[in-house]
């Protein structure tokens, strides 16, 4: 199946710094990618829809100025957590839709674990 890769898989940063997480679709093009956040023992919470060449669409309650999303190409979306705080520590997962095959199936990255000290 299609592959979605996230980098880094783990990152530790100090409070107040910014962290960038990359999401790449390796063997297909994705005009739409999704960013999720998963707390321990909880479900995936959709944060935003990343649209290639246009602004991301954020879910209610998600601060767009804190979680900056850029989808500059058909294979890359980035999530930047700005001025990170300990409460931002979480597991961030991206997914990309393979639209070329017609099934619209979502493929998920391995996730990125962010720890803010």
- Give residues in contact with other proteins (CB under 8 A): 32, 34, 36, 42-46, 49, 93, 95, 97, 99, 104-106, 108-111
Strands (E), 1-117: 4-7, 10-13, 19-25, 32-38, 44-51, 57-58, 67-73, 76-81, 90-97, 106-108, 112-116
State the nearest-atom distance from the C-beta of 46 to other proteins, in Å: 6
Closest to other proteins by CB, 44 or 76: 44
State the nearest-atom distance from the C-beta of 31 to other proteins, in Å: 9
Strands (E), 29-75: 32-38, 44-51, 57-58, 67-73
Residue 98 in contact with residue 104, Cβ under 8 Å? yes
State the nearest-atom distance from the C-beta of 14 to other proteins, in Å: 28
Closest to other proteins by CB, 13 or 106: 106
Closest to other proteins by CB, 63 or 105: 105
């Amino acid at each position: 199946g299609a592959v979605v890769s996230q980098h880094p898989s783990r990152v530790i940063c100090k409070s107040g710094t910014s962290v960038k997480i990359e999401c790449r679709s390796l063997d297909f093009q994705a005009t739409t990618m999704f960013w999720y956040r998963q707390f321990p023992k909880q479900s995936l919470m959709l944060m935003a829809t990343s649209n290639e060449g246009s602004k991301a669409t954020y879910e209610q309650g998600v601060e767009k100025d804190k979680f900056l999303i850029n989808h500059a190409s058909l294979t890359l979306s980035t999530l930047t957590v700005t001025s990170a705080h300990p409460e931002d520590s979480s597991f961030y997962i991206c997914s990309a839709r393979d639209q070329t095959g017609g099934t619209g199936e979502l493929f998920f990255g391995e996730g990125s674990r962010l720890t803010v000290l």
